[in-house]
């Protein structure tokens, strides 16, 4: 199939749906000893939002789950794993926080549209496991499909053209070959462009129902859990399938936004972060 960048907007939508319908789904089973797992996404961690970073750190310390799944856009921007080598860098501080958390429970990371350059060096240094998008986990007798969600927003034509380019190994190699300072400047420019787009009230297209159902049928899963859209809700797709959207996090501004999606034998539960930190779910409580 031709590159998505070669299509008009209308053709691009149909081409993307066709590609997504044939996407391989990574499947794995949770260890039998696991009793609860949790999901977060779209924290957009950055030095300019210190309270959000501190909230994330407190959550990792407080969690009682057997595993935490971070489904993309954990960082506002990731300029390359070599940022870990920069003494006192924000990236190095985040890595230390994750390293401490991974000594207590399993951590999984899935790339988002802001941190797609996270690589094997970062995963190894933190003890996290990188997950392909999409992935399907079998847990407590049911299959759950996990995704960041950006690939499914097929009608966001401008973004999908960028995504096709940015996920290219050649493009990533070209970017990572630039000096670290230049990459930081580039990330800042891209962040400003994204903010300008938001200020123009360009609304990001939502997840495409047809594409989501195709993935769910391939995965033999009734529920898709994803982030990206910053529209937390549960949406029925048909009589047998649904998608559950994670919230973004921002505890630096009012109103505060931060939730944990907790899963155990009782099902799924959205928990506001303040409530979670006051009394996290206890193993065996359900």
* Nearest of 247, 284, 274, 285 to residue 59 by alpha carbon: 274
The model's pLDDT over 139-197, given as tens digits with 9 standing for 90+, comes to 999 999 999 999 999 999 888 989 999 999 999 999 999 999 999 998 888 777 666 55
The model's pLDDT over 62-95, given as tens digits with 9 standing for 90+, comes to 999 999 999 999 999 999 999 999 989 999 999 9
Residue 146 phi/psi, 5-degree rounding, is: -120, 140
Q: Please indicate, yes or no, whether the overall pTM of this predicted structure exceeds 0.95.
A: no
The region, left, alpha or beta by phi > 0 then psi within -120 to 50, assigned to residue 91 is alpha
DSSP of 40-109: E----B-TT-HHHHHHHHHHHHH---SEEEE-S-SBS----GGGGGSTT-HHHHHHHHHHHHHTTSEEEE
């Amino acid at each position: 199939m031709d590159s998505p960048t070669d299509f008009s907007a209308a053709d691009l939508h149909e081409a993307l749906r066709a590609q997504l319908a044939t996407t391989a789904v990574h499947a794995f089973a949770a260890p039998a000893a696991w009793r609860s797992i949790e999901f977060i996404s779209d924290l957009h961690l950055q030095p300019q939002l210190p309270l959000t970073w501190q909230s994330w750190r407190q959550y990792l310390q407080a969690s009682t789950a057997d595993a935490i799944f971070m489904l993309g856009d954990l960082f506002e921007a990731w300029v390359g794993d070599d940022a870990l080598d920069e003494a006192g860098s924000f990236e190095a501080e985040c890595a230390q926080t994750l390293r401490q958390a991974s000594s207590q429970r399993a951590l999984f990371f899935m790339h988002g549209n802001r941190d797609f350059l996270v690589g094997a060096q970062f995963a190894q240094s933190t003890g996290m496991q990188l997950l392909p998008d999409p992935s399907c986990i079998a847990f407590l007798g049911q299959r759950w499909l996990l995704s960041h969600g950006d690939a499914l927003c097929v009608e966001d034509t401008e973004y999908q053209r960028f995504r096709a380019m940015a996920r290219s190994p050649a493009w990533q190699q070209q970017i990572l070959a630039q000096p670290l300072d230049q990459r930081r400047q580039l990330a800042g420019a891209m962040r400003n462009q994204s903010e300008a787009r938001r200020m123009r009230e360009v609304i990001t297209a939502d997840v495409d129902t047809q594409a989501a159902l195709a993935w769910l049928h391939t995965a033999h899963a009734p529920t898709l859990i994803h982030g990206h859209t910053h529209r937390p809700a549960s949406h029925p797709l048909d009589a047998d399938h649904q998608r559950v959207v994670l919230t973004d996090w921002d505890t630096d501004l009012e109103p505060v936004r931060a939730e944990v999606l907790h899963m155990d034998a009782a099902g799924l539960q959205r928990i506001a972060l303040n409530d979670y930190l006051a009394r996290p779910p206890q193993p065996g409580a359900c």
